[in-house]
Amino acid sequence: MSKTPRRRQNRIAAMQFLYACSINPPDDLPDQLNLFFAEKDEDREYYAFAEELIHGVLGDLDAVDSEIRTYAENWDFERIAKMDLSILRLAIYELLKRLDIPPIVSINEAIDLSKQFSGPDSKRFINGILDKMKGTIQRPLREATEL
- At residue 147 the predicted structure's pLDDT band, cuts being 50, 70 and 90, is low
Identify residue 53 by its one-letter amino acid code.
L
Quick: pLDDT tens for 120-143.
889 999 999 999 999 898 787 778
Task: Kindly list the domain boundaries of the chain, sorted by start residue.
Answer: 6-134
Average pLDDT, the chain: 93
Angle formed at CA 111 by CA 110 and CA 116, multiple of 5 degrees: 95
Phi first, then psi: give them for residue 27, nearest 5 degrees. -80, -35
State how far Cα 34 lies from the chain centre. Answer: 20
Amino acid at residue number 63: A
CA pair distance 144, 135, nearest whole angstrom: 17
Q: What CATH code would you report for 6-134?
A: 1.10.940.10
| Angle of CA points 14, 7, 108, to nearest 5° | 85
- pTM of structure: 0.92
